[in-house]
């Protein structure tokens, strides 16, 4: 990359170098930052140096807004939402901030004039992958919407040194590689070394009665770790609001334990330091299932405690009376990962700030609200009592006390009945004793919600049924949403331009305005433009696929895409069964006239999830055979794109014709990829699961490819005794597909490789693939036919986008604000820099 020093550039400060956006100012600022922050001159500067210089330039333009926002919140004492989440899957900042600031064009010009390429600089950013999948990405979309809607809010979480692993594919298998995202520096974060919170672990408690006769407990910890704050500004779209995402990093309190040092235990002291700092080393890579890992509980407690202490510190700056804490703050618990906060706030209020129990409980119960994100039983967090006792002895006492008082109330509800008591208890006593985090969250929260209408109904009917009976008024549904800023404007500039030409750009902040596109679905010229935009996006993805995998795909074929975590319940293997079905039809009749398709997969498997890893191997193995078989003659292509992440999603959603949302009904809480696809004009093939149900309601049944069993049908089949082999034996086509895999056709003759997967399908088929197979194949046939009618397909595609207004995360956040948080926007005026 070549570059130019702006020679003879007039040094007349017509605008502030840190806030101005004229071409000359931007150029000067970039070069200044290269010089003073990266300490480089242009001819030796690396691409990363330029990326950093540009990012600091953009960050300067954020800071003015961020500081004005902080000042305004402080002065006004605004009611504030704190979003507690163990995961924030942010994706790259630079492109998003350019869009939200509205200076993308200007910056591109400035960068060009400096002889640099904006795309290259944008690609230089290592995305902060501080999340696994949907839950973490939802948190990121919500931060964007809260800022855009000018809602006073904080995100609180963990600054993992290593985020979600990078995925490589070697010999068709997933290999995990450490995500060293901080290696070259992170220009978006501002360390706050003075904001540090002590977090205690282990040890014992003792009690005494103080001189006023109060019973007090002291927790003598085994050791203390400090949480140090790292802040990232989160700017809203074309507003002055820039909220804060505060992530905590663990630091050992003392560099070395001097006593150990003096007694010669130097290495032991170093080891203790490392152990403390391990807490924020790495994100746990599991999506849903969870084992009882001590480090994981430590992470949860560490960030919950740091965050609550920080909030109390902020509160006490203006108000000595903690009994009204809940009037200033509300905390949204993103799943049960931060649920220990309920006990921790009680501890802080009672032990440290000497509130009486009832007052503290009143505050606590009015502070927290809890979102549940999954019904999978293996994902419900529970921690062995022994682990709790060892790590958080004081919290265990508090939880016992909360539970005792709670169960006393339950007894009044169910006199003489022990079953509801056993189910509602925060302590699971059915075998080895556990603390049930969902129960703790429900007892300690004033509001409880699921993430799609069906999911919330299922929560009320199953997993949280007993709580629903007890506290029906606490329950509501809040259907997920995604931010159109990242998922349309940033990802799909072509479509953004086309839409804005027609209806203006108001839709970016008010997605319902997309409805104005509806009449254009009948406009021949508009359809042609729509089709061209999609085609351009497909060409770009095809180039990317070739660069990454060497596979050549045809942009005229139907791009059929499934990207999400690899999991049996999401049923990527059902998709594979369809591919093999088509393959066999071609083998039977090589002249068959079928709609050419490119099947694209992406997604990570949890490193310890054997079956999911085997599913990846199956996809790549089938691809290897199908892509090369001369009989197929390019009509089918199968691509597994490695390392699915936010950046990759931004390329993929705009290029999809068909979105695969094929989970077993009743198991996908919501899904959010389904929304991103549809917003970008893909049609969906899906089951009646999660938010698919609502997407179909919005876009119209005629614009959605529905198949499969419904949730009640799945439940009924399970209750009656599901026999997958009945379906296999009575369906020769299905049997042939399974037999072809078993024969070693896709595994160089190895008949064992896929046996674990196949025997799973024959024998239990926990996720009902066999039951849904024929319906899926038939539905795919309809998709293929529909794609042949290009005009009709384009009209359906336009209608999908036009009717996606509901799925903006702005709508979700407005729902939370109105029904749960009771917070209102605060308008930020710019205070004009640092003067
Ligand atoms: C769900 O599986 C949902 C996201 C966000 C996931 C997915 O359907 O869209 O949450 N749940 O609500 C999850 O990660 C730990 O649970």
Element (H or E) spanning 151, and its range?
none
559 with 655: CB under 8 angstroms? yes
Q: Which residue ranges form the domains of the chain, and what is each CATH number?
A: 1-76+105-124 (no CATH), 77-92+127-479+820-834 (3.40.50.2000), 520-806 (3.40.50.2000)
Mean pLDDT check: name the lowest of 7-16, 246-255, 744-753: 7-16
What is the rounded average pLDDT for all residues in the chain?
Answer: 95
Cα-flanking dihedrals φ and ψ of residue 431, to 5°? -150, -125
- Interval 23-32 mean pLDDT: 97
CA 575 to ligand 1 centroid distance, Å: 21
pLDDT for residue 14: 53
The SS3 of residue 649 is: helix
Q: How far is the CA of 323 from the centre of ligand 1 (A)?
A: 34
Q: Is the pLDDT of residue 796 over 80?
A: yes
Overall average pLDDT of the 801-814 stretch = 98
- Among the ranges given (133-142, 269-278, 378-387, 787-796), the one the predictor scored with the smallest mean pLDDT: 269-278
Count, in order, helices (H) and strands (E) of the chain: 33, 24
Q: What is the pLDDT of residue 786?
A: 98
> In Å, what is the CA distance from 556 to each residue of 110, 301, 454, 560, 635?
36, 52, 36, 12, 11
Residue 3, pLDDT above cutoff 60? no
Q: What is the average per-residue pLDDT within 693-712?
A: 98
For residue 450, report the distance from its CA to the centre of ligand 1, in Å: 10
Ligand 1 centre distance from Cα of residue 447 (Å): 18
Confidence of residue 273 (pLDDT cuts 50, 70, 90): confident
Q: 28, 564, 573, 597: which one is catalytic?
A: 564
Distance CA 731, CA 775 (A): 12
* pLDDT at 270 (0 to 100): 78
Token pair 């022994």 is found at 386
> Which one of the listed residues 59, 395, 509, 676 is annotated catalytic?
676
470 Cα–ligand 1 center, Å: 25
**Section 809-823 average pLDDT:** 98
- Beta-strand relationship, 204-209 and 215-220: antiparallel
Model pLDDT, residue 834: 42
Distance CA 379, CA 390 (A): 23
Question: What is the rounded CA–CA span in Å between residue 271 and residue 258?
Answer: 13
Q: How confident is the model at residue 477 (pLDDT cuts 50, 70, 90)?
A: very high
Q: How many CB atoms lie within 10 A of CB 113?
A: 15
Find the catalytic residue in 61, 538, 565, 637: 565
Our measurement of the distance from residue 29's CA atom to the centroid of its chain's CA atoms, rounded to an integer in Å, reads 34
* CA 423 to the chain's CA centroid: 30
- Collapse the DSSP code of 286 into the 3-class scheme (helix H, G, I; strand E, B; otherwise coil) and give the result: coil
Q: CA 441, CA 331: separation in Å to the nearest integer?
A: 12
Active site residue 273: no
The number of the ligand 1 atom at minimal distance from the alpha carbon of 287 is: 14
The answer for residues whose C-beta is within 8 angstroms of residue 259's C-beta and 6 or more apart is none
Task: Give me the pLDDT at residue 255, please.
Answer: 59
Distance between first and last Cα of the chain = 38
Q: Is 87 in the pocket of ligand 1 (CB under 6 A)?
A: no
**pLDDT tens-place string over residues 406-463:** 999 999 999 999 999 999 999 999 999 999 999 999 999 999 999 999 999 999 999 9
Q: What is the pLDDT of residues 600-624, one digit of tens each?
A: 999 999 999 999 999 999 999 999 9
Tokens of 722: 């599901």
Reported pTM: 0.96
As beta bridge partners, residue 82 has: 154, 331
Residue range 6-25: mean pLDDT, rounded: 72
One of 672, 684, 711, 801 is an active-site residue; which one? Answer: 672
pLDDT digits (tens, 9 = 90+) for 279-291: 999 999 886 555 5
Average pLDDT, stretch 287-314? 88
Over residues 375-400, the mean pLDDT reads 95
Query: Going by C-beta distance under 8 Å and a sequence separation of 6 or more, which residues neighbour residue 761?
Result: 573, 724, 738, 769, 770
Instruction: Let me know if 676 is a catalytic residue.
Output: yes
- Whether 630 shows a pLDDT value over 90: the answer reads yes
Going from the C-alpha of 172 to that of each of 19, 116, 614, 623, the distances in angstroms are 49, 37, 9, 10
* pLDDT given at position 265: 75
Supply the ipTM of this predicted assembly.
0.99
b/e per residue 771-806 (b: at least 16 CB within 10 A): bbbeebbebbeebbebbeeeeebbbbbbbbbbbbbb
| Lowest mean pLDDT across 247-256, 612-621, 645-654, 673-682 | 247-256
Among protein residues, the one whose CA lies closest to atom 11 of ligand 1: 373
Segments of 610-765 assigned E as strands: 636-640, 658-661, 683-686, 705-706
The fraction of the chain above a pLDDT of 70, given in percent, is 96
Non-local (6+) Cβ contacts of 521 within 8 A are: 527, 794, 795, 796, 798, 799, 802
- pLDDT value at residue 290: 56
Best of 89, 134, 377, 563 for a ligand 1 pocket test (most atoms within 8 Å of beta carbon): 134
List the one residue out of 787, 622, 794, 805 whose CA is nearest residue 697: 805
pLDDT tens per residue across span 720-770: 999 999 999 999 999 999 999 999 999 999 999 999 999 999 999 999 999
Q: Is the pLDDT of residue 542 over 50?
A: yes
Pocket of ligand 1 contains residue 136 by CB under 6 Å: no
pLDDT band for position 40 (cuts 50, 70, 90): very high
pLDDT of residue 256: 55
Residue 288 has what pLDDT?
A: 58
Could you tell me the distance, in angstroms and rounded to a whole number, from the CA of residue 377 to the centre of ligand 1? 13
Model confidence band, residue 833 (pLDDT cutoffs 50, 70, 90): very low
Q: Which of 28, 59, 373, 538 is catalytic?
A: 373
């Amino acid at each position: 990359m070549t570059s130019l020093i702006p020679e003879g550039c007039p040094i007349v400060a017509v605008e502030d170098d840190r806030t101005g956006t004229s071409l000359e100012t931007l150029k000067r600022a970039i070069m200044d930052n290269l010089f003073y922050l990266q300490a480089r001159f242009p001819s030796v500067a690396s691409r990363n140096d330029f990326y950093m210089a540009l990012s600091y330039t953009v960050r300067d333009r954020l800071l003015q807004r961020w500081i004005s926002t902080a000042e305004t919140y402080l002065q006004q004492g605004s009611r504030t939402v704190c979003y507690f989440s163990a995961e924030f899957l942010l994706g790259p900042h630079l492109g998003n901030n350019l869009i939200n600031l509205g200076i993308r064009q200007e910056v591109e010009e400035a960068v060009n004039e400096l002889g640099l390429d904006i795309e290259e600089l944008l690609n230089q950013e290592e995305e902060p992958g501080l999340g696994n999948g949907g839950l973490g990405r939802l948190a990121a979309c919500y931060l964007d919407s809260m800022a855009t809607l000018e809602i006073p809010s904080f995100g609180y979480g963990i600054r993992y040194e290593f985020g979600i692993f990078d995925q490589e594919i070697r010999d068709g298998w997933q290999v995990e590689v450490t995500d060293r995202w901080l290696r070259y520096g992170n220009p978006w974060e501002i360390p706050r070394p003075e904001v540090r919170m002590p977090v205690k672990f282990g040890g014992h408690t003792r009690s005494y009665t103080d001189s006023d006769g109060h019973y007090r407990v002291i927790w003598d910890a085994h050791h203390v770790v400090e949480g140090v704050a790292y802040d990232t500004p989160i700017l809203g779209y074309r507003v002055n609001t820039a909220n804060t995402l505060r992530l905590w990093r663990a630091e050992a309190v003392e560099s070395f334990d001097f006593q150990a040092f003096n007694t010669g235990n130097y290495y032991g002291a170093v080891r203790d330091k490392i152990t403390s700092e391990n807490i924020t080393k790495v994100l746990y890579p599991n999506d849903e299932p969870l084992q009882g890992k001590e480090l994981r509980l430590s992470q949860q407690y560490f960030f919950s405690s740091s965050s609550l202490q920080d909030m109390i510190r902020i509160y006490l700056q203006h108000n000595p009376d903690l009994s009204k804490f809940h009037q200033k703050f509300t905390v949204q618990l993103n799943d049960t990962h931060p649920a220990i906060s309920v006990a921790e706030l009680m501890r802080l209020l009672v032990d440290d700030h000497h509130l009486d129990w009832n007052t503290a409980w009143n505050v606590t119960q009015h502070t927290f609200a809890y979102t549940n994100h999954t019904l999978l039983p293996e994902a419900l967090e529970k921690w062995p009592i022994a682990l709790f006792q060892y790590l958080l002895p004081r919290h265990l006492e508090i939880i016992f006390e909360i539970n005792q008082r709670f169960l006393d109330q339950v007894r009044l509800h169910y006199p003489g009945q022990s079953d509801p008591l056993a189910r509602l208890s925060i302590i699971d006593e059915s075998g080895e004793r556990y603390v049930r985090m969902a129960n703790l969250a429900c007892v300690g929260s004033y509001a409880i919600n699921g993430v799609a209408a069906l999911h919330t109904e299922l929560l009320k009917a199953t997993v949280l049924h007993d709580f629903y009976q007890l506290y029906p008024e606490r329950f509501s549904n809040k259907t997920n949403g995604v931010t159109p800023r990242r998922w349309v404007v940033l990802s799909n500039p072509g479509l953004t331009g086309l839409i804005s030409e027609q209806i203006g750009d108001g839709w970016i902040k008010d997605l319902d305005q997309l409805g104005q596109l509806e009449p254009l679905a009948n406009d021949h010229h508009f359809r042609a433009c729509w089709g061209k935009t999609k085609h351009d996006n497909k060409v770009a993805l095809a180039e990317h696929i070739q660069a990454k995998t060497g596979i050549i795909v045809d942009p005229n074929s139907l791009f059929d895409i499934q990207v999400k975590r690899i999991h049996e319940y999401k049923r990527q293997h059902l998709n594979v069964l369809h591919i093999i079905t088509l393959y066999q039809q071609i083998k039977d009749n090589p002249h068959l006239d079928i709609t050419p398709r490119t099947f694209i997969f992406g997604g990570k498997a949890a490193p310890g999830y054997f079956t999911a890893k085997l599913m990846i191997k199956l996809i790549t193995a089938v691809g290897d055979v199908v892509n090369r078989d001369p009989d197929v003659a390019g009509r089918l292509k199968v691509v597994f794109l490695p390392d699915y992440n936010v950046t990759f999603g931004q390329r993929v959603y705009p290029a999809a014709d068909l979105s695969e949302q094929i989970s077993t009904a009743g198991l996908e809480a919501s899904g959010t990829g389904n929304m991103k696809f549809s917003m970008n004009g893909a049609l969906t093939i899906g089951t009646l699961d999660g938010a698919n149900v609502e997407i179909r309601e919005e876009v119209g049944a005629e614009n959605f490819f529905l198949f499969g069993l419904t949730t009640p049908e799945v439940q009924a089949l399970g209750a009656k005794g599901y026999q997958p082999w009945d379906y296999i034996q009575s369906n020769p086509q299905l049997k042939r597909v399974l037999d072809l895999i078993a024969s070693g056709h896709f595994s160089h003759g190895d008949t064992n490789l896929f046996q674990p997967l196949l025997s799973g399908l024959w024998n239990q088929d926990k996720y009902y693939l066999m039951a849904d197979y024929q319906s899926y194949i038939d539905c795919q046939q309809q998709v293929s036919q529909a794609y042949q009618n290009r005009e009709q397909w384009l009209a359906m595609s336009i209608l999908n986008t036009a009717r996606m207004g509901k799925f903006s995360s702005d709508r979700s956040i407005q729902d939370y604000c109105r029904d749960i948080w009771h917070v209102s926007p605060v308008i930020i005026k710019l205070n004009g820099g640092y003067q």
